[in-house]
A and B are shown apart, each in its own frame.
Chain A
Amino acid sequence: DSGVTQTPKHLITATGQRVTLRCSPRSGDLSVYWYQQSLDQGLQFLIQYYNGEERAKGNILERFSAQQFPDLHSELNLSSLELGDSALYFCASSVGAGEPDTQYFGPGTRLTVL
């Protein structure tokens, strides 16, 4: 158990809908990262927050957004869902201070868009 929690574990929804994925980092970690794992794209970095502020952005679609709250949990919002958004979404956390440190991953949320 990495100490990172993600809910829900599975999510099935329809095209055009909006969903919210939630992540709680390990105790003491200030950085939260979101990654998407799909068969065609592999594991891709989406976005990073550090202590409530956005720090880095990757290949994140405009239909996707995220935020980190004062209690450090993070939410990834996916809207106008398309079939191609079906993937495993991981959250990871790290201490986030100084040089890049180890990211510990949550169990993931498997999103299926029908």
Chain B
Amino acid sequence: AQKVTQAQTEISVVEKEDVTLDCVYETRDTTYYLFWYKQPPSGELVFLIRRNSFDEQNEISGRYSWNFQKSTSSFNFTITASQVVDSAVYFCALVTDSWGKLQFGAGTQVVVTP
């Protein structure tokens, strides 16, 4: 069975601190896709990154970076020098079927205070 675990329910940081969100996934498939989405207080879901199982390169996009480790089935997300605008719920998701059905983790609420 496929599963995504985001064990951190809420993380509170002060602005400019770094914050790392953990995502652990379970699947027996050798081909799969991992995603991160952001849900700000306004409620919409914003796409952040897509990674397939054959691409273990870490990625950096501005203050965001992702660490994909197949050996530990983890796809962690780090926000460097956090800002108040980073306050949101962040979801990790897994796709294992050809039609792209997203299986989401429970989400991690990030609260950044000035």
Contact = CB atoms under 8 A, between A and B. Distances in A.
Contact of B102 (A96, A99, A103): A103
**A-B complex: 10 closest residue pairs judged by Cβ atoms:** A100-B100, A105-B45, A43-B104, A56-B99, A100-B95, A107-B44, A55-B99, A45-B101, A102-B50, A100-B33
B101 A58 contact: yes
Interface in A9-48: 31, 33, 35, 42-45, 48
A90 B47 CA distance: 14
Contacts of A77: none
Nearest to A57: B101
A42 B44 contact: no
A42 B98 contact: no
The binding surface of chain A is classed by DSSP as: strand
Interface in B31-58: 33, 35, 37, 43-47, 50, 52
Contacts of B106: 42
Contact of B100 (A43, A90, A101): A101
Contacts of A58: 101
Contacts of A43: 91, 102, 104, 107
The bracket for how many chain B residues form the interface is 20 to 34
A56 B43 CA distance: 25
A109 B35 CA distance: 23
Contact of A48 (B37, B43, B99): B99
Interface of A: 2, 31, 33, 35, 42-45, 48, 50, 55-56, 58, 88, 90, 92, 94, 96, 99-108, 110
25 contacts: A2-B46, A2-B47, A31-B99, A42-B107, A43-B102, A56-B97, A56-B101, A58-B101, A88-B43, A90-B45, A92-B45, A92-B102, A94-B100, A99-B52, A99-B98, A100-B95, A100-B99, A102-B47, A102-B50, A103-B47, A103-B100, A103-B102, A105-B44, A105-B47, A107-B44
A50 B43 contact: no
